[in-house]
Structure 1
Amino acid sequence: MEEKIYQLNIEEISKNPYQPRKNFDSDKLRELAQSIEVSGVLQPIIVRKSSLFGYELLAGERRLRAAKLANLDKIPAIIRMYSDDDMMILSILENLQRDDMSPLDEAKSIRKIIDKSSMTHDEVAKYLGKSRSYISNLLRILKLPHSILLLLGDKKISLAHARTLLAEENEEKQVLLAQKIVKEKLNVRQLEDIIYRKSNKKINNKKNIYIEEKEKEITKYLGISNKISYDKKRQKGKIELQFDSLEKLEDILEILTKNSQ
């Protein structure tokens, strides 16, 4: 059934208390406001009735902000019934579907959903159209020291830098390396060389923490031993699967075939 669209007074709409997104690009807001002045708000926002006054925003904060900049009195809206928990989870998921969310905000939001709901890594991944490994690896960056997360949030280091820093287990050294990235403008390859050079082994011969995690994931998923090898210089790799019977091979092929359909 098609939902009814109401024209609500903007002054009666308060912002979403569970909005995980804090920063909005001012230039893009002005562009949207100019578009709204010409064509109006083309897509309704979503709200719920407030227990105190008016309505609380669920989705469409950019449109609401831009409508205010365009000096509109009313805005098209869909009214839905949501509990506080539903409001929080849906607000986070709505923001996670945006392309301009920073990796740090994305990781924090996913962590919050998992902590506050019964959703698993798999369920969050499916909802967002991501792989489970993407979700798990993104959450791992939250283990880094706060000072490094600040650098990531300020875009002084990249997500790839942050992931690579996890290979260094000592937090003090992680912080020093992060400072070195900023000061010397190190790329990820240079950072890897520094981290793995400590053990006097080439990075290609060092067991990569990412590879180890992938081996564990395959073992858990297929129920078999496996080995992943990767030659970074040649950018080639292979996966070796070990099975002890033809029946086990059939089981593996059945799992892989189902997931390719």
Structure 2
Amino acid sequence: MSDNNRLGRGLGAIFGDDVTNVLEDIQQGKNDNFGGTKTTLKVKDVRTNPYQPRRHFDEEKIRELAESIRTHGLFTPILVRETKKGYELVAGERRLRASKEAGMEDIAAIVVEFDDAQMMEIAIIENVQREDLNVIEEAAGYQSLIERLGLTQDEVAKRVSKSRSHITNLLRLLRLPKSVQEMVSENKLTMGHVRPLVTLEDPKEIERFAQQIYDRKLSVRETEALINNEHTEKVPVKPVDNSQFSYAKSLFEKKLQTRINIDQHKVTIHFEDNDDLNRILELLDIME
């Protein structure tokens, strides 16, 4: 297959289902189908992957790897591509960071040919397959694929081998205030903690709840009860007493991850767009 035919195609068509293993084969010299050329580069000349979704790196593990590189050297080359601005990292950011930490001037590299779309997919899929990303980083990566490559949520799901509902649920986390997203990234709150927060509309209220959850070290179940109870208390007095539906309302919102209103003989399900509606239909198992 010619390089021109490879460029611009989705990674699934090139690599199959497991991007990580193929990248490792290239780095170990077991796969030369992608224009791999071995070389040695100056560490300072390698730019990081602009599409890298990871924002948080374990500094202790970087220091441990740096010590290993000082003692034994770097066993696995990094992958780079050559651009008009110089060499750009494709895979191996921890190795690059550790080499800098170790004070290394040179680094072993393999030069491959990938376009921007493939670079972005590699950065996201490799991390997702290795489960290296927190849920906020993963969501931001999917959003980048949608915005930069013009993909639908369905297409993203197929590219990364995830369900569409998984993609949609994670993308909803990006609607949370940045301060709350940061709490998730720092492992102060879990995905389970913030799921019910997505159903709220007021950013200040979301931030207030998030801080309460963290300060009081609430469990996921306690979080759901807190939010449901406060909202039940705030419902304006109506001729019909809806408090009897509060438990059903909480079950609906937990299952569907959206705002629910229940009146006598009527359940109202709120959705934001067609993708959100499709997500809800899938969760209800009524999508044909």
TM-score, with normalisation over the residues of structure 2? 0.66
Deviation, structure 1 residue 63: 0.6
Deviation, structure 1 residue 108: 1.2
Deviation, structure 1 residue 110: 1.1
Q: For the Cα contact (< 8 Å) 2:53–2:138, is it kept in 1? A: no
Q: For the Cα contact (< 8 Å) 1:196–1:202, is it kept in 2? A: no
Q: Which residue of structure 2 lines up, in the alignment, with residue 21 of structure 1?
A: 54
Residues 30 and 147 of structure 1: is their aligned pair in 2 closer, same or farther, counting only changes over 3 Å? closer
Q: Which residue of structure 2 lines up, in the alignment, with residue 128 of structure 1?
A: 160
Q: Counterparts of 1:135-146 in structure 2 under 5 Å?
A: 135-146=167-178
Q: Which residue of structure 2 lines up, in the alignment, with residue 217 of structure 1?
A: 282
Counterpart of 1:57 (choices 89, 99, 105) is 89
Distance in 2 separating the partners of 1:185 and 1:219: 32
Is residue 2:110 matched to residue 1:78?
A: yes
Distance in 2 separating the partners of 1:218 and 1:105: 24
Q: Which residue of structure 2 lines up, in the alignment, with residue 192 of structure 1?
A: 224
Q: Which residue of structure 2 lines up, in the alignment, with residue 230 of structure 1?
A: none
Deviation, structure 1 residue 187: 1.3
Q: Counterparts of 1:37-116 in structure 2 under 5 Å?
A: 37-52=70-85, 54-116=86-148
Is residue 2:225 matched to residue 1:181?
A: no
Gapped runs of 5+ residues in structure 1?
Answer: 224-261
SS of structure 2 residue aligned to 1:43: coil
Deviations 1:206-250 (A, max 9, x none): 251353476511678742xxxxxxxxxxxxxxxxxxxxxxxxxxx
SS of structure 2 residue aligned to 1:208: helix
Deviations 1:66-123 (A, max 9, x none): 1223333332222122334443443333333342322111111111111111333333
Distance in 2 separating the partners of 1:182 and 1:35: 37
Residues 95 and 202 of structure 1: is their aligned pair in 2 closer, same or farther, counting only changes over 3 Å? same
SS of structure 2 residue aligned to 1:185: coil
Aligned CA-pair RMSD: 2.7
Distance in 2 separating the partners of 1:219 and 1:187: 26
Q: Which residue of structure 2 lines up, in the alignment, with residue 253 of structure 1?
A: none
Gapped runs of 5+ residues in structure 2?
Answer: 1-30, 233-242, 257-276
Residues 222 and 167 of structure 1: is their aligned pair in 2 closer, same or farther, counting only changes over 3 Å? closer
Q: For the Cα contact (< 8 Å) 1:168–1:195, is it kept in 2? A: no
SS of structure 1 residue aligned to 2:108: strand
Distance in 1 separating the partners of 2:135 and 2:283: 26
- Corresponding letter in the other structure for 2:189: I
Report how many residues are paired. Answer: 222
SS of structure 1 residue aligned to 2:79: strand
Q: Counterparts of 1:142-157 in structure 2 under 5 Å?
A: 142-157=174-189
